[in-house]
Each structure stands twice: as C-alpha cells, then as structure tokens.
Amino acid sequence: MIYLDHAATVSLCPSALEAMLPYLTAQCGNPSALYESGRRARQAVSRARREIAETLGCLPEELYFTSGGTEADNWALLSMAEAARARGEAPFLVSAAIEHHAVLETLRYGKETGLLDYALLPVTGDGVAALSGLDALLAKRPALVSCMGANNETGALQPLGELLARCRERNVPLHSDLVQVYGQLPLKSLLGEELPDLFSVSAHKFGGPKGVGFLYIRRGLAVGALLHGGSQERGRRAGTENVAGIVGMAAAAKVAFAEMAESGEKKRVLTELFFRLLREELPAVYRNGSETARLPGHLNLCFPGVSAELLLILLDQAGIAASAGAACASGALEPSHVLLAMGRSEKEARASIRFSFGAENTEEEVRKAAQIVTNCVKGLQEEQNV
C-alpha cells in the first residue's frame, strides 16, 4: 500500500514504541500508588511533561494530558464558556467556519443546550480565516476565540500571529487547535514569541500513539475541571494516567522536533512532484487552498466531473490510501464543510480528495501513485463522458 493519508494519522515511530514497552509490561504501576512501580510511573509522567514543555518553551505545569485533540478542544471551549457564566458574563465564543468538527460540533452542542452562543468568522477562497469582521466580534467581549493553526483538509495556515495580537489587545483569551501543526512546523513561524492561552495537540499526528494528547492552559487562566473523581492532572482531569501513551508521545515529540526541518522539506518536494505529475496528464485538476501558506505535506485536489467517492474506492483497490476530508468525517457522504466555506460548490466539494504525504514516502511511490491516480481519473472520465 502507498499511504498518502498522513493528515489522518501516522505510524508509531520506533522511539515511541521503545519508550512505551516497559510501561505496557513490567513497569505497570499506577502513578497514584506509593510503591516502587507506582513511583516510577509517576516519575515517567513528570519527565514526559517536562520534555514536551521543552519543545514549547512553556512550564510543565501548563500541560494537561488528555485522550487526544478532540477531548482537549471540548475541554477548552466548554470550560471557558462555563467560566464566563460563573463570572456573570455572556458565554459568547468566536471561531471560524473551517474548524475541525471537534470545535464546530462542540459549539453547536453548547448552543443547542443553552451553554453558550457563538459566531463564526468567514474564510477566504484560499481557506484562511478572514479577520475583517474580528474587531466587531471582539467588542462583544467573547469568553474565548478559537482558531486552528492549520486546516486539516487543505493544510492552509491560519493568521494566528495577528489573531493573537488582536485578542491580547482586548484581553480576550485565544484557543488554537494545533493538532496539524505541532511537530510539523515551528510554532514561532505562526505565532511569533507568544503562545495562545490554550491549545490542543494529539500525539498520533506526529508519530506518537493514538488515544493521548494534551491541552496547554496558560498559567493563571481560570479553566474548570474536565473530569471529576481524582487528583490527577492537578485535579482538572481525573482518571488514571495513560502512562505508556504519555511516555510515547514525549518520545515522538523529541524525534519530530529534531527532524522537523528535513522532514518538512522532503514532504514539500514530494507534494509538488505529485501535483506536477498529475497536472501534466490531467490539466483540469486544481488545488483547493493556498498555493504557498500551507503545511508542506498537504494537497487537496479537485478532479472536475469525477466522483471523489468512486475515485477513492478505485484508489483503495489499487493500493493507495487517501481521503475525501477529515478523518473523523470521511466515512460520511456529506461534502466537505471546509470547501463549502471556501466558496466551492457542492459539486466541486464532492470531486475533491486530500492527499497528505509523510517523510517515509519515496519518490518512487509518488511517481507510481500519480500514474495510478491519473489512470483511475481518466477511466472515470471516460465512463462519465467528462
């Protein structure tokens, strides 16, 4: 199989697996226990927290381990809305129309249940949040603004630096879903020297295990507990820690940051090669999203007149893994909300596929994949008389 869906997940890196094994076997103690294996587990969690904090230049105590990005997004949004209500303020939140479902569905749930109200920033045709109406929304003193660092479907980088500066001017906290960014790009390239007040990360996007991530919460920010019933994560997220997962995440982060520059350049080269090869044979194909301000391995393409669903089936049969959008929604038949928000028609959205490349992909694989995609598209076009 030629795996071209790295935005959905990547394989566990060897360093993470090696780091995890002791805590899946002999060192199986509960971190809350007083005996030796418990102490070792507790020390491993603390060490992992410090190691991840070093990649961010933040305090270890500002990191709260979760089951992944979705949980972290839910926690950030709902807790900030609850905090506003507790202060007697309106639980009004601001986000963008292209956010991951973990953000958008949480906002919808909050509104339907009366927990919060929200407004969504529109986006440009390149898939970038448009900030022209931001000042009017900030004047309403929202409890939180939430904007992702890079879009999971198109790879479009978002204007986090400007957004953070404008939020700080109004003393409005900013949350960012950095699931697609952490371990892929230097955060300073998006943010400058400061971090958002809260941000979410998921380990399996950068070589760590599935089922673990973290929420960064700036020290001093009033954020309520997510789960109750224990003192874990300083009383904010009760439940026995996923020691092996946390240790594996820290090990994967070390590797990702050490190899970031080399890996990013390789993904960029492979992505552009793939696009060029397709365009040579399929000149009608075009890219959804920014040509330049995007993640190096993301490529969302529209194949006019071709059903993305049928194309994905053919590609799967030919040994190529790709997707029609977000991993959490790719099993659904609805057109991408991201592409629709960008102004694409439903027909265009239903003809679009995301290819996302990893550093382990080879030029040989990319050339082979481009030929297979070309053949499949031409076959479908002949059948549909496109």
In tens, the pLDDT along 185-211 reads: 999 999 999 999 999 999 999 999 999
Say how many Å lie between the first and final Cα of the chain, rounded: 29
Mean pLDDT throughout 287-314? 96
> Does residue 50 carry a pLDDT above 60?
yes
Q: For residue range 53-107, list pLDDT tens digits in order.
A: 999 999 999 999 999 999 999 999 999 999 999 999 999 999 999 999 999 999 9
Residue 28, pLDDT score:
87
Q: Residue 157's pLDDT is what?
A: 98
What pLDDT does 291 receive? Answer: 87
Is the pLDDT at 328 greater than 60, yes or no? Answer: no
User: How would you list the strands of the sheet with 63-66, edge to edge?
Assistant: 63-66, 213-217, 198-202, 174-177, 144-146, 92-96, 117-121
pTM: 0.95
In this prediction, residues 321-336 reach a mean pLDDT of 72
Provide the pLDDT for residue 383. Answer: 82
pLDDT reported for residue 158: 98
The rounded percent of the chain whose pLDDT value lies above 70 is 97
Residue 331 pLDDT class (50, 70, 90 cuts): low
Percent of the chain surpassing pLDDT 90: 91
What pLDDT, on the 0 to 100 scale, is given for residue 386? 57
For residue range 210-240, what is the model confidence (pLDDT) as tens digits?
Answer: 999 999 999 999 999 999 999 999 999 999 9
Q: What is d(CA 80, CA 200) in angstroms, rounded to the nearest whole number?
A: 14
At 135-189, the pLDDT tens digits run: 999 999 999 999 999 999 999 999 999 999 999 999 999 999 999 999 999 999 9
Active site residue 328: yes
CA distance 251 to 39: 20
- Give the pLDDT score at 279: 98
Q: Residue 33's pLDDT band (boundaries 50, 70, 90)?
A: confident
The pLDDT-based confidence of 283 (bands split at 50, 70, 90) is very high
Of the candidates 58, 302, 328, 376, the residue annotated as catalytic is 328
- The residue among 313, 256, 288 whose CA lies nearest residue 52 is 256
pLDDT for 327: 52
Burial class (CB in 10 A: 0-12, 13-18, 19+), 228: exposed
What does the alpha-carbon distance between residue 138 and residue 350 come to, in Å, rounded to a whole number? 35
* pLDDT at residue 382, as a whole number: 85
pLDDT value at 280 more than 80:
yes
> Is pLDDT above 90 for 333?
no
In this prediction, residue 384 carries a pLDDT of: 74
